[in-house]
Structure 1
């Protein structure tokens, strides 16, 4: 067991606190996985209107993320994270008492705005607490913690959905506050001052060293990273289909009663696969570069989502979930490690803001485009599109990996000749 969990044994104690906080928060992550069903079933919105509100919720994340990232680089990671995550949780509480009010979608959009503002501070905090040598296992452990909680949350929400709907909103808020209590008690402020930045300068990778100037100037100097983020945006278009198209497909195949419960089983399968296989996948790919692992994840996306166009039995849906979840593990445990390894220490909050902003573009436009597409096409044809998209993005990432390796080899030879 020590050998199996070896990648996590030397991580800072603060990372373990964040691990438990994320696990608790995810155990109460009830609302967003069932947002599509709630809007269409409880509020009787059309497919196009449901896609519209899903798009607004995702788009609201963008300005929130930008504001939160800027504040995290100037006011501190911990303060900004606790403030906005608390506001996001408070936005859920009125929803429990409003019945089928048309106000609820707007409160969910407001919660997404606040959640977007909290996310960059959280990401910058993790980057502050780690370095290039331990980031892959750190992000892997945190990803595992999220899904340990998520293994329970959606399944519980699936049973609460029909008969105890208000508790979906209340439970989400309460577990968020509990996770914040852990951060408040055990995590110090992590933003480095000028003296600390100078002290650690020689221990940072070249792309992590402090820089002056704006976010835009720092990004322009990193063209490979920008292309990488574009690929992540396309991946998010593919991945968002599991919370938009998949619930509709299950309701169409299995009916109004079984559809939500089966979706809960699928989401639990997704989380359990992460729980069981994240450590193994991390161990097997520990020596591979993050960008290559993210490309490999796209191949699993292509296979897992692509097969949904030709199945109609629950056990095949569960097998499909297992396949695309392996892709999720590879992408989820490596994408942010790659970004952190290429982010200047002075811009971590803002870079952790721009990454979700770019990714959320695919997440936001996915439901809108898919909703319009479904007005004239079948649900099954959506999965063929995901197959082609994920395959092309994976190929592009492998090309970027080759380009990056070539640049490193050239730089190494030039340095050796000096």
Structure 2
């Protein structure tokens, strides 16, 4: 069936990274529960929880930019492995410590190194994959991420009350398996660049060496529009791990963590079932149109969450719409940027977009957290809808602008 065979023809390294993502996310139990850890275990209210997350995010912001620079200047594989080793050690240590702000700080330092490697991971996928197969490669990587996440949020919900410390240690061990796979089976991507790059692309790279990433962005209306759409979309998307668990926990104080864990798992199941299908059905649709459609679906899903307070079935219907939008946007990002930015600047463009999205996530969480504490759930969701509408407008303008600016990609 084409739904499965569409992923044939990728390089061995693509399949190794796919397996690595599955294993890593099987152990990704902490992040879906971070809001509940701060709120239920450490007693922070919504605004205090947002402040903690925002302060942590501010610390992470430079890591996105530094990580992008490292990805472009040094061996991508080594950047990933070295950062993983530090993360593994710190995750395990944090699990062995009594739960407190100190143990969370140890965890966050480990997460900082995961953030640092993020641009290198994205650039690695682009570096080992021919241009015509990059959307499929990023789709496969995203699929692997969610196969691993199907069980981890629900398991975390069961461990949350009495065995939370195990989640920290399992996360570290899962990353170690992925690191071994990359270390043993992924070739040095820099040696592949010469094979993948065309002569025209090489000339473009030489010319780009005389520039910097901000000049490249300023010279492209499409990149500016994409970064605006991406930043506001990701800012609102962060409510999946912030406002959503607060909303569910407020409606169901006793078993909110378990309900939210199952909502997380439903999200992952839909991703696994629908990512190959949507990738195949919308193969011919231009990337900006897919992104615009994804942002629109997220806006609709937030309206549904607004109306679903205290209705469990409503949460599951809303997360279905949310996930369809997530699929369309996520599979586009890596392929879109890799086709519109010179090869030796890909790490930095991934770093810039990660920086802007992290900044907007902090803004959205702080404002929505204040609204949640002082006024209620409804205004917090309405604010989130407004943020997604900005992304919708920017992405729909991008559809026309991108076709005009990058017309050669549409022939």
Matches within 5 A, 1:17-96: 17-96=16-95
Distance apart, 1:80 and its partner CA: 0.6
- Please say which of residues 352-361 and 231-240 is displaced more in the overlay: 352-361
Q: TM-score scaled to structure 1, two decimals?
A: 0.92
Residue 265 of structure 1 corresponds to 262
Q: Does 1:164 align with 2:163?
A: yes
SS of structure 2 residue aligned to 1:286: coil
Distance apart, 1:123 and its partner CA: 0.9
Q: Which residue among 282, 304, 307 is the counterpart of 1:307?
A: 304
- The 1:199–1:116 alpha-carbon spacing in structure 2 relative to 1, beyond 3 Å, is closer
Q: TM-score scaled to structure 2, two decimals?
A: 0.94
Q: Deviations over 1:17-37 (max 9, x none)?
A: 100001100110011111111
The CA distance in 2 between the partners of 1:79 and 1:160, in whole Å, is 34
Gaps of 5+ in 1: 414-418
Q: Which residue among 273, 278, 302 is the counterpart of 1:276?
A: 273
May I ask how many residue pairs the two structures share in their alignment? 409
Residue 333 of structure 1 corresponds to 331
The CA distance in 1 between the partners of 2:253 and 2:204, in whole Å, is 52
Matches within 5 A, 1:348-363: 348-363=346-361
The CA distance in 2 between the partners of 1:274 and 1:208, in whole Å, is 35
CA contact (8 A) 1:207 1:341 kept: no
- The 1:162–1:153 alpha-carbon spacing in structure 2 relative to 1, beyond 3 Å, is same
Matches within 5 A, 1:376-415: 376-408=374-406
SS of structure 1 residue aligned to 2:146: helix
- The 1:100–1:342 alpha-carbon spacing in structure 2 relative to 1, beyond 3 Å, is same
Q: Deviations over 1:305-357 (max 9, x none)?
A: 21111122211101110110000000110112101111211112222211211
- The 1:57–1:22 alpha-carbon spacing in structure 2 relative to 1, beyond 3 Å, is same
SS of structure 2 residue aligned to 1:278: helix
- The 1:315–1:355 alpha-carbon spacing in structure 2 relative to 1, beyond 3 Å, is same
CA contact (8 A) 1:31 1:172 kept: yes
The CA distance in 2 between the partners of 1:315 and 1:304, in whole Å, is 14
- The 1:207–1:261 alpha-carbon spacing in structure 2 relative to 1, beyond 3 Å, is farther
CA contact (8 A) 1:62 1:113 kept: no
Could you say what the CA RMSD is over the residues aligned between the two structures, in angstroms? 2.2
- The 1:38–1:207 alpha-carbon spacing in structure 2 relative to 1, beyond 3 Å, is farther
The CA distance in 1 between the partners of 2:194 and 2:230, in whole Å, is 30
Residue 343 of structure 1 corresponds to 341
Residue 249 of structure 1 corresponds to 247
SS of structure 1 residue aligned to 2:52: helix
Residue 118 of structure 1 corresponds to 117
Q: Which residue among 200, 213, 216 is the counterpart of 2:214?
A: 216
The CA distance in 2 between the partners of 1:307 and 1:228, in whole Å, is 26
Residue 186 of structure 1 corresponds to 185
CA contact (8 A) 1:238 1:389 kept: yes
- The 1:411–1:107 alpha-carbon spacing in structure 2 relative to 1, beyond 3 Å, is closer
Q: Deviations over 1:352-371 (max 9, x none)?
A: 21121111112222222222
- Please say which of residues 14-23 and 343-352 is displaced more in the overlay: 343-352
CA contact (8 A) 2:288 2:402 kept: no
The CA distance in 2 between the partners of 1:156 and 1:238, in whole Å, is 26
SS of structure 2 residue aligned to 1:44: coil
The CA distance in 2 between the partners of 1:157 and 1:349, in whole Å, is 33
- The 1:133–1:321 alpha-carbon spacing in structure 2 relative to 1, beyond 3 Å, is same
Distance apart, 1:261 and its partner CA: 0.4
